[in-house]
Amino acid sequence: MQCDACRHEAVVFQPYSGKHLCPAHFLKDFEAKAKRTIRLHGWLRPGDHIAVALSGDATGTALLAFLVKLTTNRRDIRLSAITIDTGIRGWTDIEQTEKTAAACGVDWFCGSFAERYGTTMDAMVQQDGPKAACRACRVLKYDLLGEIAQTHGVTRCAFATTVDDSALEFFSNLLSDTVERTLFPFEVTGKTRIPAIRPFMNIPAPEVIRYAELHCGETGSCDTLSPSPRSEGISRAADAQAALDTYARRHPATKFALANLAGTLAGIVAARERPPSCPVCGELITGGECKSCSIRRKFDRGTVP
């Protein structure tokens, strides 16, 4: 199939736009979208130190590669990468993330659940079951990432969130009766409240992975890429993802629609008063106590400031 913008062979098809694109036109389209998102939100300011959350999957690698390219001539902006080893066997390849960061020429920092909390995700799943472990992981991972970021003077943490992630988050929130998470998004990194940025939030996951592959061809570090194992079968989110994927296969605009609706709803309720939030961490309080802080108490070994 030919590129819709030139005569070269297309490598990407965008089902939502009906366009076929060659590598050059795909990169142009992709980077323009991510730049527009950054500009709209004012996510890049002089003096920023941006840390990319790098878990070793293709999307994180793509985000790091993109930000490196974007800030090549910006001496006023510092980039680094942070990896959290949650202790899921076979998930995060720590050495590989370190190599990826080195190949991109940025500082790399790392932390682990084992060191910080004295446990691993594998152990937590065994002890408390997958549901509780997932809930705890969500809190502990961002807390640790934020702590490391704070130590190094990071001003924003960058996450490779895609349209697919936002759509799934919203869909899961609807199914789990936690829609307040969508209505009142909390765009910070754990307890430290370092702002979170998501330059790929308007780009579908398959395109982000394609971008990583194309970039990787340039840097020769293709080994770092593996499909995101987040869905690796334990949580309610995995079931929601399967259902959503099945539906979206025949209706390609579905995930965009969900992700956009989530943003629209949050915009509508933003003008209203925020429901009660935790005085310690700022998250929404449901059922009389802060669920995130009760997780923190459980896993805290007394070293948190």
Which residues of this protein are in contact with Zn ion, per CB under 5 A?
A: 3, 5-6, 8, 22, 25, 278, 280-281, 290, 292-293
Shorter beta-carbon distance to Zn ion: residue 108 or 211: 211
CB of 196 to Zn ion, least distance (A): 17
CB of 96 to Zn ion, least distance (A): 32
CB of 166 to Zn ion, least distance (A): 24
Shorter beta-carbon distance to Zn ion: residue 127 or 294: 294
End-to-end CA separation in angstroms for the chain: 57
Shorter beta-carbon distance to Zn ion: residue 268 or 280: 280
CB of 178 to Zn ion, least distance (A): 16
Give the CA count within 13 Å in the CB-facing half-sphere of 10. Answer: 13
Sign of the CA dihedral 169, 141, 215, 96?
Answer: negative
Shorter beta-carbon distance to Zn ion: residue 62 or 293: 293
Q: Are 157 and 195 in contact (CB under 8 A)?
A: yes
Shorter beta-carbon distance to Zn ion: residue 102 or 304: 304
CB of 6 to Zn ion, least distance (A): 3
